[in-house]
């Protein structure tokens, strides 16, 4: 078991690798990795009996292969990242078991990959990564991705989709009910569920304020 100083030194090495090798965007950058690691530690503290070294490696290398949201092979990004992470982890002193465990956590964290997490570490990483898509930072990331993809922030004729089908490929705000609000029910840890409830509630309050600024009523489904 690594002590705090050794863990922090390893974090610095992993962060340096990510800084050089990860294809960064405004939603997947070093700050995202730092936030995921902070959430991982928070959840791990509540879960107990986890390998923080495995979680640290997985947290900082889970987006080592970062493909755009609209890439046709987006669903393969996490398995590609897991493969790319193995030699890095080995070089940094992870043994075979730890490498394999970190790889599984990395592969299973992705929403689009559809890989079931089989370990406590994998469940924690998945919750932490998804939590970073919620709350105030989730709002910022949603609109940052929208800007990068060139999509509209919302439908000016029907911002909250009261008389049309939701379309998050066209409108960033639609992504909230299409996917983000649903993440709360998909959390795998008790700590993750509690954090998700708080963050989704904050997003709904933001939507209420936004509706007022736009001069429309917020539908009950958003409240």
Per-residue tens of pLDDT for the chain, all 223 residues: 778 899 999 999 999 999 999 988 888 999 999 999 999 999 999 998 899 999 999 999 999 998 877 777 777 889 999 999 999 999 999 999 999 999 999 999 988 778 999 999 999 999 999 999 999 999 999 999 999 889 999 999 999 999 999 999 999 999 999 999 999 999 999 999 999 999 999 999 999 999 999 999 999 999 8
- How many C-beta atoms surround the C-beta of residue 222 within 10 A? 20
3-state secondary structure of 151: coil
Q: Which of 140, 110, 127 is nearest to 188 (CA)?
A: 127
Dihedrals φ, ψ of 122, to 5°?
-65, -40
Same domain as 78, residue 181 = no
Same domain as 173, residue 101 = no
Is the separation of the CB atoms in 133 and 92 below 8 Å?
no
Longest dimension (CA), the chain: 58
Domain total in the chain: 2
Same domain as 59, residue 21 = yes
- Asked whether residue 123 is assigned to any structural domain, the reply reads no
Q: pTM for this structure?
A: 0.93
Same domain as 72, residue 162 = no
Same domain as 111, residue 140 = no
Same domain as 156, residue 72 = no
Range 42-47, long-range pairs (CB < 8 A, 24+ positions):
42/191, 42/195, 43/124, 43/127, 43/128, 43/189, 43/191, 43/192, 43/195, 44/124, 45/191, 46/189, 46/190, 46/191, 47/120, 47/124, 47/189, 47/191
């Amino acid at each position: 078991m690594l002590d705090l100083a050794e863990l922090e030194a390893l974090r610095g090495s992993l962060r340096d690798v990510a800084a050089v090798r990860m294809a960064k965007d405004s939603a997947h950058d070093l700050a995202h990795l730092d936030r995921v690691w902070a959430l991982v530690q928070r959840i791990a503290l509540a879960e107990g009996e986890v390998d923080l070294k495995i979680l640290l490696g997985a947290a900082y290398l889970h987006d080592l292969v970062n493909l755009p949201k609209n890439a046709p092979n987006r669903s393969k990004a996490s398995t590609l990242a897991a493969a790319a992470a193995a030699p890095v982890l080995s070089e940094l002193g992870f043994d075979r078991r730890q490498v394999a465990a970190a790889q599984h956590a990395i592969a299973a964290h992705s929403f689009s990959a559809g890989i079931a997490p089989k370990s406590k570490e994998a469940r924690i990483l998945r919750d932490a990564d998804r939590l970073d898509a919620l709350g105030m930072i989730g709002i910022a990331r949603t609109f940052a991705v929208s800007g990068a993809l060139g999509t509209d922030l919302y439908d000016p004729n029907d911002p909250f989709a009261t008389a049309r089908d939701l379309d998050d490929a066209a409108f960033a705000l639609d992504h909230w009910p299409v996917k983000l609000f649903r993440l709360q029910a998909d959390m795998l840890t008790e700590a993750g569920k509690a954090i998700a409830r708080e963050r989704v509630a904050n997003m709904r309050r933001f939507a209420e304020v936004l509706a007022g600024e736009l001069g429309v009523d917020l539908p009950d489904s958003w409240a």
